[in-house]
Structure 1
């Protein structure tokens, strides 16, 4: 489902007013005196005797609950979780992550939130993983934050399956109170740069948290790609480059550019590399140095060759490039190949490369073992 150019602003306005109409379902505990040690002991005993906690883990979980003003909902909470299909081990996992859940009003606050996520398509395991990333999930507002965020993603991505995929890949998606507002502003920003809704949707699905950074941060990266690197916003390379560096700082990317230059790359070659293989700039500076040292110093390649074959830089040096180069050296030493190049071999899938090795079984029986051992 496609968005209009002003979709982001509209959807946020809708939910701004909507949040005024619905009260938050977050559990709110009234300030009371610190509970007696007897109530704390009772809570620990419940974790041990009912949920199967060890004494140590029960005490640890209990310490995370700052205020134990009531524990009368605990049985109904466990019952609700079982009703939704959570087994004892999963319930224990949930309580370990969020011991405060046992203080929730099961029918009023907990049940509606769990139902929203399960009806969306998350499994029980998915929900536990989501709690690991968002431990305050059961404490934030259902109508003020959870439902608006899910509805926003539904409209943006088009299907519940894509929403679930995005939620499963994202960290702290629901935790920031400003997340929905940032999403809206950044979607509008990318649309203003000419990104299609399909491109934006793919970007969100891979890492929605890029959309929770300040719009001015994204703007600086977009302007840097167009102005400093010289990639037109109308080109496919523009989106690919932005997608690769969105989580990085401009200063960090420029430091990596300097590493390439220190190995003899010209400004034009560095820019070409950024256009053609922007993932080369997601590597750490040490990784870049190691790869360039191998290709330029050990193998004697020129920077221009790496710019022409940038996939060499994107592949694992230890698990792919060096083992296959070892094979190539053996074959050349035995004069069994002439025109096969390293770039050809590293681009083979593992199955295809093993088929390639079988061609030499009769002449070099140990070749496969040599290849396998070189990857260890």
Structure 2
């Protein structure tokens, strides 16, 4: 147990009998302490070498500050990273570290783009980073953009990224407006395309390039398919809206272009058929297309009818109904339910809960068609 114990025994005759036991004990304690220190130093040295030269992807991510929870998120999102080769993974992480990306940032990147580390990011890396820093204005802003859209490091730099950004700059969208679009629409670069028909659509919206809505109109039309745009216009025309009115609506509220044909159709059917509003009301108040039909529109309209049947006040009509539909849930309940006596309020609340729980007919048998990108 003690490597130098035989040396002490060899020279024990130099120690007097009364002091021999005490000297031996002190030496043994000192030797044990030295031996423990040596073992601890060896363990720490081996641990440092393992960190400097990781054997697998787990040690690589740990080196970059990923904890056990982070590793669980990484490997559950992309299991193949467990068998990833150490050298290529290290080289990519070294490139990312120059941008100030941390372990938590890497977890977000993998969660957003699971196959990110399967892509080559070393091509034109320095040139790309210089270009993006000039575009976003700072390295910190670029870091945030990459976390939001890691594909900025994988797009074809010369044949796709630069031409698309130049195209938007020709439209007059640059600086903070372009940055906002790149961050809010991660698919802007790979899906942008313009032709004469799309240019004509932009003109039909009547939005000038000085308007705050201009960047949204241009970018949403740019990333949309021609067939999808036609389909959305035709869908609204079936409810009595003219083409001119529809494009005017897209100009005032461009985010209507992000709504699916099915959602617009169901909301328009309810607003025109059940609420008995005209199409012009929807054109004036486009929030009616954004409202959740099952959670907001239908239960609140049914509650309005219940209030009328019970001859309660306040009566919810016209502009007041539109205001009621835009209220938050708590405010709506306070204004139109809890304002009544306790027994009446309880009855209205039970009716409202039941209305919110109603499921549309044949919902369980509805077939979900995947069309890919919704625009």
TM-score by structure 2 length?
0.68
Distance 1:131 1:118, change over 3 A: farther
* Greater C-alpha Rg: 2
Q: Where does structure 2 lack aligned partners over 5 or more consecutive residues?
A: 1-52, 358-375
Distance 1:338 1:373, change over 3 A: closer
Q: Verify: 1:185 aligned to 2:163, yes or no.
A: yes
Q: Deviations over 1:15-63 (max 9, x none)?
A: xxxxxxxxxxxxxxxxxxxxxxxxxxxxxxxxxxxxxxxxxxxxxxxxx
The alpha-carbon deviation at position 163 of structure 1 amounts to 3.1
The alpha-carbon deviation at position 199 of structure 1 amounts to 1.0
The alpha-carbon deviation at position 328 of structure 1 amounts to 1.9
- Which residue does the alignment assign to 2:305? 329
Q: Verify: 1:281 aligned to 2:257, yes or no.
A: yes
Distance 1:131 1:292, change over 3 A: closer
Instruction: Give 1:309's match in structure 2, choosing from 285, 300, 312.
Output: 285
- Which residue does the alignment assign to 1:126? 108
Q: Map of 1:1-376 to 2, 5 A cutoff?
A: 75=55, 77-88=57-68, 90-91=70-71, 93-94=74-75, 96-99=79-82, 101-104=84-87, 109-116=91-98, 119=101, 123-137=105-119, 140-142=120-122, 144-160=123-139, 162-170=141-149, 172-176=151-155, 178-179=156-157, 181-213=159-191, 217-218=193-194, 220=196, 223-333=199-309, 334-338=311-315, 340=317, 341-356=320-335, 357-362=337-342, 363-376=344-357
For 1:236, what is the secondary structure of its paired residue? coil
Q: What is the number of equivalent residue pairs in this alignment?
A: 297
Task: Provide the C-alpha distance between the structure 1 equivalents of 2:86 and 2:293, rounded to a whole number of angstroms.
Answer: 52
Task: Provide the C-alpha distance between the structure 2 equivalents of 1:160 and 1:353, rounded to a whole number of angstroms.
Answer: 45
Q: Where does structure 1 lack aligned partners over 5 or more consecutive residues?
A: 1-72
The alpha-carbon deviation at position 358 of structure 1 amounts to 2.0
Task: Provide the C-alpha distance between the structure 1 equivalents of 2:328 and 2:196, rounded to a whole number of angstroms.
Answer: 38
Task: Provide the C-alpha distance between the structure 1 equivalents of 2:116 and 2:208, rounded to a whole number of angstroms.
Answer: 38
The alpha-carbon deviation at position 323 of structure 1 amounts to 1.7
Task: Provide the C-alpha distance between the structure 2 equivalents of 1:100 and 1:132, rounded to a whole number of angstroms.
Answer: 14
Over aligned residue pairs, what C-alpha RMSD do you find? 3.1
For 1:296, what is the secondary structure of its paired residue? helix
The alpha-carbon deviation at position 297 of structure 1 amounts to 1.6
The alpha-carbon deviation at position 343 of structure 1 amounts to 1.4
Contact 1:179-1:212 within 8 A present in 2 as well: no
Contact 1:291-1:317 within 8 A present in 2 as well: yes
